Structure 1
Amino acid sequence: MSLDTEHSEFARLIAQHQRAVQGYILANVPRWGDADEIWQETSVRLWLEFDKFQRGSNFAAWAIRVAHFEILTWRKKVSRNRLVFGDDFLECLESEQGQFTSQQSQDRLKALDQCLQNSTEHQRELLSRFYEPNRQVEQIAEAMKCSVDAVYKSAQRIRKVLRHCIENRLQNAELYS
């Protein structure tokens, strides 16, 4: 296969499946900026290993598998950050996720990331603990030196603030588009 033909085929396949792969990455990475970095690394890796791709097979599945390994690499790199979700939680989330392919889903995720960035470290830590698998609310309350009711009420307030923030960002984006 000539180099021009290979370039054309790769460009066509990457354009056709970009949203599916980006959706997969966004569903597995908490921050929009990190997801974008992983997408760039995935794209480079896909190009470098394109000669290993079996022509006629499922490009999206192959690309998502490459993205999976790029996500694992990213997780190792940021594992020292205590606000990053654990591998068990992320694997559980990954197994239950649907493919994010709509622009609306991507816009909501971007808005959520921006809203989380504006929340306090305490709020992010509470949410991180609250959604950690096999973590009991009683354990969270004990670790944070507060009552179980206080944990539930705090989580409820944070989710409400995030929901309003997301809705406002999406409405503002619509006004300016």
Structure 2
Amino acid sequence: MNPTADNETAFVSELTAHQTMLGAFLRSLLPSQADVESLLQEVNVTLWNKREQFEVGSNFKAWSFKIAKFHALNERRKIQRNQWLVFDEDIIHKIAAAANSLSQSRLHEKQRALDHCLHKLNAKHRDLIQARYQQGESLQQYAQTHKQNPATLRSILRNVRIKLKNCIQLQLNQG
């Protein structure tokens, strides 16, 4: 095998190993799941196009997160032009730094804890969480679809988030 093929194989391996972390990182910076999925694809294309700039053995996570952060900042500017509520640029940099410091194993621990706690919820609460955070559905949309009061749903969602947070903390402390 030639050195270029070896480098490309190593690059693909790194890119694949960091997909979950890149997605979580972008999710922490953007308002909707649809934005995250679309932007993750753009980040992957940019990473692929810049793959020759990556040095095998260097910190792929730091390099890829830096590129993802610039994509998120550009996306933030687009969203801001459309009058969405967005984080201040300084907050984006702070979130990026904090997310970059998370280890992959810690992220997997948190994901396992979240999955465990989601399965403990009743079906209605799990459906609400999934609609709101995985599908990006607004509470207003969910309320109309399920013929419920938005204020009641907001209260339920707040209580379910508290329940999830406490469950996740308990899982992480036990593990």
Sort the TM-score into its range (normalised by shorter chain): 0.5 to 0.7
Instruction: Note the residue ranges of structure 1 that are not aligned, 5 or more in a row.
Output: 122-153, 168-177
Whole-angstrom distance in 1 between the partners of 2:85 and 2:114 = 20
* Residue matched to 1:75: 76
Following the alignment from structure 2 to structure 1, what is the Cα–Cα distance between the partners of residues 93 and 57? 29
- The corresponding residue for 1:63 is 64
Q: 1:81 to 1:52 in 2, by over 3 A?
A: same
1:161 aligns with 2:161: no
Moved more, 84-93 or 41-50: 84-93
Note if 1:117 corresponds to 2:145.
Answer: no
Q: Relative to structure 1, is the Cα distance of residues 58 and 161 closer, same or farther in structure 2, using a 3 angstrom cutoff?
A: same
Decide which moves more: 4-13 or 56-65.
4-13
Identity of matched residues, %: 22
Counterpart residue type for residue 80 of structure 1: R
1:22 is matched with which residue? 23
Count residues with an aligned counterpart.
134
Q: 1:4 to 1:166 in 2, by over 3 A?
A: farther
Distance 1:166 1:114 in 2: 18
Q: Structure 1 113/95 Cα, relative in aligned 2: closer, same or farther at 3 Å?
A: same
Is 1:9 the equivalent of 2:10?
yes
State how far apart, in whole Å, the 2-side matches of 1:12 and 1:94 are: 23
Structure 2 SS opposite 1:19: helix
Contact 2:26 2:36 (8 Å CA) reproduced: yes
Letter matched to residue 40 of structure 2 = W
Equivalence for 2:148: none
* Contact 1:115–1:165 (Cα < 8 Å) also in 2: no
CA shift, 1:47, in A, is 0.7
What is the distance in 2 between the residues matched to 1:165 and 1:21? Answer: 23
Alignment-mate amino acid for residue 83 of structure 1: W
1:114 Cα deviation after fit? 4.7
Distance in structure 2 (CA, Å) of the matches to 1:48 and 1:72: 19
Closer, same or farther: CA 159–85 of 1 in aligned 2, 3 Å: farther
Paired with 1:159 and 1:91, the residues of 2 have a C-alpha distance of 31
Tell me the distance in 2 between the aligned counterparts of 1:39 and 1:20: 11
Cα 1:2–1:63 change in 2 (3 A) is: same
1:50 Cα deviation from its structure 2 partner: 1.0
Q: What is the root-mean-square deviation of aligned Cα atoms in Å?
A: 3.6
Give unpaired runs (5+ residues) of structure 2: 119-128, 142-150, 164-175
- Structure 1 residue 96 displacement after superposition: 4.7
- Superposition deviation, residue 116 in structure 1: 5.8
> Structure 1: how far apart are the matches of 2:37 and 2:27?
8
Give TM-score, length-normalised by structure 2: 0.59
Summarize the Cα distance change of 1:76–1:157 in structure 2 as closer, same or farther, 3 Å threshold: same
Partner SS for 1:36: helix
Q: Single out whichever of 38-47 and 92-101 deviates more from structure 2.
A: 92-101
